[in-house]
Structure 1
Amino acid sequence: MIQAQFDRLKNNEIISIEISGHAESGPYGQDVVCAAVSALSIGTINSIIEIAGLSPSIIIDEEEGGYLSMKLPDGQSEKQSHTAQILLESLLLSLKSVQEESPDYIKIKQKNYNNGGAF
């Protein structure tokens, strides 16, 4: 099962995401849930880099796959932050749609940090 976690600050802004696991909803190369989650998450991160102009911290398990972590950088302008939040909320909405269609293969969790964001 794919686990997706969205971490939010006290002001409700998404500061990081972590996606791990494998859907195993079909044979390797034909797993549409995994393909959807991968395309959505990588597309969002690419958009954060290109459209918002940010350089997030990214960790990917390139050997075994099944792991992606992204944390937004400190010191964002208001415009960069606003753009990144739209993109991340869109990712969350899209992943929720995948979860509704395939609830046995993906679980989404949101975690709130009420202390202002210290991880």
Structure 2
Amino acid sequence: MDKESIIKLVSDRSKGTMISTLGIEITDLGDKYISGRMPVDERTKQPFGLLHGGASAAFAETLGSLGAGNQVDLEQYSVVGIELNSSHLKAVKSGWVYGKATPIRIGRTIQVWDINITNQKDEAVCKSRL
């Protein structure tokens, strides 16, 4: 399946899930990476008007899990996160945040992914590992 078809499939299957609720979009996909973006708006802000750390964590887990899923035959195997670590580095008030997930290790039964989330100025907002 080509890249555009996979991105469309993810978008179609995400309707009615947390991915669509948070406005997460997959923007690019390769053999060893996946990229996306998420709006910083009323769906993803905490009461003080800043990007909610939980939204960043959900975005990171989404990218890491989808990247991991792209490494296996999903008709034969399931992919689930077992641990997520996120360091929130910079506040964001509005606009978009961008994420890119790359594998640290793809093993036979365990994968570890590095996820970097940045703001529109390409400044680090959140660093995660799944």
TM-score when scaled to structure 1?
A: 0.35
Greater fraction of residues in helix: 1
Structure with more relative contact order (C-alpha pairs < 8 Å, separation 6 or more): 1
TM-score when scaled to structure 2?
A: 0.33
